[in-house]
Structure 1
Amino acid sequence: MPTVAFLAAGDLLHFELGVAYEVFGNPPLDVDGWYDVVLCGPRPVRIGPFTVEPDDGLDRLARADTVIVPACADVDAPPPREAVDAVRAAHEAGARIASLCTGAFLLGEAGLLDGRRATTHWAHAADLAARHPHAIVDPDVLYTDNGSVLTAAGKAAAVDLCLHLINLDHGAAVANTVARRLVVPPHRSGGQAQFVATPVQTTGEHGLADLLTWTRQRLDRPLTVTDLARRANVSPRHLGRRFRSVTGSTPLQWLLTERIRRAQELLETTDESVVAVAVATGMGTATTLRRQFKRIVGVPPDAYRRAFRSTA
């Protein structure tokens, strides 16, 4: 039975640790070889409003298969040296190390981010990059996977990374089962896609709500930026600026993301052919859908359908 060890040292945030415990500590039915979960630390630790007694000492990390480093509450305070040394020793012993949110700062102190792609909460990404200049910090992803070293962005991205780890260990169907128990999508922004699609406000006074609704109702049509600008009664250049401020992306990037999301929905809930899905989502041909779907989601449409429909 593989061991997942949670680091419990320093002043930790309880949300990320709590969701990781929920994911790894509750096996789905009929799944063999689930995880042995252990909380490791040198002494009782403050986790948010709670004080928790560890199950074992820091030396236990070196015998774990996976080590989870939760978010730290204060990124300005250096992480405990004993925790840094224990995580480095665990990595040298062959453990897979995964940080959640600001836990990446401890990985940086351990030298595990040098030359590797990493992420953390977007509000702290610049600080992480400045403090560890040899790390390749990407603030625009949900998580990074370097094989033996993985990092997750803030808060809910901890769930994304945990589900990714389950997918690696047990396959997509089991990961989907866990995701459905948590009432979260198995793959945010599609499948294994790691690029964040900034959440779009669909109600309120941001000025694009009507246009976004109108566009989603016409995804099967060959829409252009000019079409959207004409509908919004603004110039294409002005529309681009508004889209960037509201959605964090360009009109065409947002439109492509919406088409892919609609394709995912159809693949999960209908038996329509890939050709029909391509037409229904405005992708034109099955070839175009397969190419864009694989690029954004990370798997081809047929594989995505098999994975999702297997647990429907």
Structure 2
Amino acid sequence: MTDGEKRGQNVRKLRPRLSVGFILARRFTLCAFANFVDVLRLSADEGDRSRPILCGWRVLSATMEPIVSSSGIAVHPEERLGDPTLFDYLVVVGGLIDEIPNLSPEYTHYLQRAAAAGVPLVGVCTGAFILHRAGLLNGYRCCVSWFHHADFLEQFDGLRPVSDQIFIVDRDRLTCSGGASSAHLAAWLVDRHVGRAQARKSLHIMIIDDALRAEKPQPGIPLDLTTDDPLVKKALLLMQQTIDTPLSVAETAHRLGVSRRRLERHFQQAVGMAPTLACKIMRLEHAEFLLCQCDQSVTEIAAATGFCDSSHFVRAFRERCGMTPAAFRRTHTSVGA
């Protein structure tokens, strides 16, 4: 009898309201895992005493060897793979794309056994890739980070990932883009199984204003700029990294080691527009996100998205959205202007 099966016999009658088993891929994303666990931890007890009373969580392993994250920090598993029905959910935390094929077949078989038993499966970060490789996302919608959208399309046929939401719940499959969104998915589970007050408490202690709904957009590169062109992808990432101080097309091309003409040609072929327009769209979509998610003034948001002054920002925003930033904020959120 495995450790997990023994534990199941001993505590089955004392199970918390929400019990989660974690499977960590090699080079998993530490922040996505930590955010998910901390929401459970802070929801499980009064204050931040961390006793697993209302929520329980365990890191599972086929070998019990330490699992090294993408940052180099290792996590020690707590029990071997056993009976998956001991858990309300099994959460697969992915990380670096190149490590996904290296996951032991024992985990794949365990997840398939869990699915057959009706245990809901959760894919965090590139955990969705792992679930799909195991044949467990066929017929389901799944959420993938905008950063990995093109990678998913390249590796898998027959499934269109969603990259404009922070997480998706489709029956007994739950997926999220990773990072901070894993805290919001965990809070959704706590809200459902433990209570809304506990979910909100955990997020507030973590200095997260409040739970975001699944359909909230991911901050990142707009989907209409998604491309497989390596040069354009690098340029878009550079634009995002300098969104508050936009580079000229010439400077962007210089940093990428190509001519301006070549960069403009690749953009036209890949996304049907010039680099300047692509950068402007990215900045305005980020402004939409800020208007909905924070209480910064229009002037502050203009500066944060690289506009020289608020009047220029308002004109550009109205041209794209058909309304002023203040009107957009009133229409899309309760945050005051």
Taking structure 2 as the reference length, what is the TM-score of the superposition?
0.61
**Aligned equivalent of 2:310, options 210, 215, 222:** 210
The number of equivalent residue pairs is: 235
* 2:81 aligned partner, one-letter code: L
Structure 1 position 173 matched with structure 2 position 193: no
Q: Cα RMSD over matched residues? A: 3.1
Q: How does 1:5-24 map to 2 (within 5 A)?
A: 5-24=21-40
Is the 2:286–2:305 Cα contact (8 Å) retained in structure 1? no
Indicate the residue corresponding to 1:259 in structure 2: 330
- Structure 2: state its 5+ residue gaps: 1-15, 220-284, 288-300
Q: For the residues of structure 2 that align with 1:64 and 1:4, how far apart are their CA atoms?
A: 5
Q: For the residues of structure 2 that align with 1:162 and 1:204, how far apart are their CA atoms?
A: 29
Q: For the residues of structure 2 that align with 1:3 and 1:32, how far apart are their CA atoms?
A: 9
Structure 1 position 85 matched with structure 2 position 109: yes
* 2:31 aligned partner, one-letter code: F
Q: For the residues of structure 2 that align with 1:212 and 1:63, how far apart are their CA atoms?
A: 57
Task: Tell me the CA shift for residue 205 of structure 1.
Answer: 6.7
Indicate the residue corresponding to 1:40 in structure 2: 60
Task: Tell me the CA shift for residue 170 of structure 1.
Answer: 2.6
Indicate the residue corresponding to 1:182 in structure 2: 206
- Residues 244-264 of structure 1, C-alpha deviations (whole Å, 9 max, x = no match): xxxxxx35496665115652x
* 1:37 aligned partner, one-letter code: W
Indicate the residue corresponding to 1:141 in structure 2: 165
Distance 1:258 1:12, change over 3 A: same
- Further displaced range: 125-134 or 157-166: 125-134
Indicate the residue corresponding to 2:128 in structure 1: 104
Q: How does 1:1-312 map to 2 (within 5 A)?
A: 1=16, 2-26=18-42, 27-29=44-46, 34-43=54-63, 44=65, 45-47=67-69, 48-75=71-98, 77-78=100-101, 79-188=103-212, 191=213, 193-196=215-218, 198-200=285-287, 201-204=301-304, 206-207=306-307, 210-211=310-311, 228-229=314-315, 239-240=319-320, 250-252=321-323, 258-260=329-331, 262-263=333-334, 265=335
- Structure 1: state its 5+ residue gaps: 214-227, 241-249, 267-280, 282-312
Q: For the residues of structure 1 that align with 2:79 and 2:106, how far apart are their CA atoms?
A: 14
Task: Tell me the CA shift for residue 61 of structure 1.
Answer: 3.5
Q: For the residues of structure 2 that align with 1:252 and 1:171, how far apart are their CA atoms?
A: 38
Task: Tell me the CA shift for residue 150 of structure 1.
Answer: 0.5
* 1:65 aligned partner, one-letter code: D
Is the 2:121–2:173 Cα contact (8 Å) retained in structure 1? yes
* 1:70 aligned partner, one-letter code: V
- Secondary structure of residue in 2 paired with 1:183: coil
Q: For the residues of structure 2 that align with 1:109 and 1:261, how far apart are their CA atoms?
A: 37
Q: For the residues of structure 1 that align with 2:140 and 2:107, how far apart are their CA atoms?
A: 21
Q: For the residues of structure 2 that align with 1:143 and 1:178, how far apart are their CA atoms?
A: 18
- Secondary structure of residue in 2 paired with 1:4: strand
Identity, in percent, stands at: 18
Q: For the residues of structure 2 that align with 1:64 and 1:208, how far apart are their CA atoms?
A: 53
- Further displaced range: 78-87 or 100-109: 78-87
Task: Tell me the CA shift for residue 177 of structure 1.
Answer: 1.5
Is the 1:7–1:69 Cα contact (8 Å) retained in structure 2? yes
- Secondary structure of residue in 2 paired with 1:10: coil
Is the 1:63–1:90 Cα contact (8 Å) retained in structure 2? no
Is the 1:6–1:69 Cα contact (8 Å) retained in structure 2? yes
Distance 1:117 1:73, change over 3 A: same
* 2:60 aligned partner, one-letter code: C
Q: For the residues of structure 1 that align with 2:147 and 2:214, how far apart are their CA atoms?
A: 24
Distance 1:139 1:158, change over 3 A: same
Distance 1:185 1:75, change over 3 A: farther
Distance 1:187 1:212, change over 3 A: farther
